[in-house]
A and B are shown apart, each in its own frame.
Chain A
Amino acid sequence: MSPRIKTLRKVQNPSLVKGFKPYGPDAGKQNSEPVILLYEEYEALRLCDYEMRNHHQASVLMGVSRPTFTRIYASALQKIAAGFVEGKRISIEGGKVYFDSDWYQCAGCKCYFNNPEKEKEIMNCPLCGNQQIAPFKSETPMDETMVTIKAE
């Protein structure tokens, strides 16, 4: 029996750097394998300890269950600790993730749109070309529709 397939984890943005290197006189001595910190583990650490959210809120943001989130978080801490203690490089890569893009709303035609090219900033509405666009705060604009459908 093959194990169950992992669900996709949502990561808001890739980390700024690809990893971390130890320094000091003994740093290069053990040229060992780096510790591989998965993107989802990086995201778990960011949500929990940088944005100060609790595990439940963070699990919702990543689209996994709370127990799964706790496991990802524990694994992140374990790997970082191993890197620190053993003086290993930490490389941030891999993992079963997708990157959630930002959503915007146009003031002119009231449409919503996302930005699939994260590096480039969107200046105009893709539909009507209006320059008055604002970031859309909710998770996805779709949630709202679902609520209205239920209300009817």
Chain B
Amino acid sequence: MKVAITSTGNTLESLLDQRFGRCACFVIYDTESKAIQFIPNPNKDAEEGTGSASVEFVASRAVQKIVSGRFGVKIEPILDSLKIQMIVIKEPKKKIKDIIKMLDH
């Protein structure tokens, strides 16, 4: 199963990005093959519509869960209808490697 994590940078030491649409980087983690992929967010500096554009971007990679700090009101219903699970972590100091370790439980 693939999980997307919003990240502030492209290393395992980077912190979780609290924003979804405008996060710097998406980390796509495959829980079965343990493959980790860093993809810079193409919508990072867009003026508007970043939320739905990012949802499309992530959904096209067949992700089933998204870990972020916050999801906007517009994308919540979209993710709900796509049956993508949202996981909200309210700790800004979480590192990507810690989240991956937790996902491996």
Contact = CB atoms under 8 A, between A and B. Distances in A.
Interface string B75-105: 0110111011111111100000001001101
Interface of B: 65, 67, 69-73, 76-77, 79-81, 83-91, 99, 102-103, 105
A147 B76 CA distance: 18
Contacts, number: 63
Interface string A96-113: 001111000000011111
Contacts of B105: 127-129
A127 B102 contact: yes
B90 A109 contact: no
The interface residues of chain A, by DSSP majority, are classed as: loop
A5 interface: no
Contact of A114 (B80, B81, B99): B80
A7 to B, nearest CB: 11
A114 B90 contact: no
Contacts of B70: 142, 145
Interface in A114-145: 114-117, 126-129, 140-142, 145
Contacts of A100: 77, 80
